[in-house]
Structure 1
Amino acid sequence: MPLSEYEQRVLEQMERELTSDDPRLATSMKTTSQRSSVRYVIAGVGLVVGLLGLVIGAAQSLPVVGVIGFVVMFSAVAYAFAQPSKQSGPVGVVSADGSVTPAAKGQKPRRTGKSGKAPFMQRMEDRWDKRRDEQ
């Protein structure tokens, strides 16, 4: 059953409000799966190769081949369902020695932990500051 004209207008108004209130959430809701079919084809081939290795390893009593087949299968499925990585370059000012520093627009330098990512509280503070600056 199609929506009435009034319902369509209300829905469009809600969409506009959501986009203006939280554009990041709105874009994540709009975009459908960004996984390409090539990713699934590669994962499917890996799954078939891994299954073949598992079966051959079991049939020939070669546990090493079976384990390798299982690892290939598991990796293929993990690759299929993993989020594609965002390929973005460094943001900020690159100095002569190649290190990246935050832009001079009043951004705080980030403290990084063992993983190279900013700590949780630092990221939350950065988000808060960013939202406050936008308003």
Structure 2
Amino acid sequence: MPLSEYEQRVLEQMERALTSDDPRLANTLQSSGRRSPLRYVLVGLGVVVGLLLLVLGAATSRTWLGVIGFVLMFAGVAFAFASPRKRETGPAGVVNPDGTVRPGKGSAPGKRRGGGGYAGLITRLEERWDRRRHQDGR
């Protein structure tokens, strides 16, 4: 059943609000999760070779060979479930109600705000907290 005009307008408003509130989340949700077939070939090859090494190590009583096989199998499965790395350039800006994008404060292409890791997370959370406090007028 198709959406009514009102429902479509509300949905578009929600999308714009999400994009302006958190552009990174919106980009993540819009990105396609397609992965290269080469990735799956490498994973399959790693798992099969790892299994062969594990069985061969157990058959010949060479523990180190079995451990290498297990590690290879584990690495293959971890590689299969890991998300591919992307070049993050940070948020492009804020989406206006008319659909145009204006650059955000301090968003320079090619630079990530706050860095990575735990310190970067804390910095981003502090920035968000400060923005919210200033918006509320406190």
- The TM-score range, normalised by the shorter chain, is 0.5 to 0.7
Deviations 1:46-65, CA, capped at 9 Å, x for gaps? 11110111122222332221
* Displacement after TM superposition at 1:118 (Å): 3.7
Residues matched between the structures, number: 110
2:58/2:66 contact within 8 Å kept? yes
TM-score, normalization by structure 2: 0.58
Residues 75-86 of structure 1 aligned to structure 2 (within 5 Å): 75-86=75-86
Deviations 1:9-60, CA, capped at 9 Å, x for gaps? 4323322222233222111111131543322221121111101111222223
Residues 101-120 of structure 1 aligned to structure 2 (within 5 Å): 118=119, 120=121
* Displacement after TM superposition at 1:79 (Å): 1.5
More displaced 10-residue stretch of structure 1: 61-70 or 6-15: 6-15
Deviations 1:68-123, CA, capped at 9 Å, x for gaps? 1101001111112223334469xxxxxxxxxxxxxxx7xxxx999xx987464334
Match of 1:57, as an amino acid? G
Which residue of structure 1 aligns with residue 43 of structure 2?
43
Q: Distance in 2 between matches of 1:56 and 1:82?
A: 28
Which residue of structure 2 aligns with residue 15 of structure 1?
15
Match of 2:59, as an amino acid? A
- Matched residue of 2:33: which SS? coil
Match of 1:58, as an amino acid? A
Q: Flag structure 1 segments of 5+ consecutive residues without an equivalent.
A: 90-104
| Higher RCO (Cα < 8 Å, 6 or more apart) | 2
Q: Distance in 1 between matches of 2:88 and 2:26?
A: 21
Which residue of structure 2 aligns with residue 58 of structure 1?
58
Q: Distance in 1 between matches of 2:33 and 2:41?
A: 15
Q: Flag structure 2 segments of 5+ consecutive residues without an equivalent.
A: 90-105, 107-112
Which residue of structure 2 aligns with residue 102 of structure 1?
none
Match of 1:39, as an amino acid? R
TM-score, normalization by structure 1: 0.59
User: How much is the aligned-residue C-alpha RMSD, in angstroms?
Assistant: 3.5
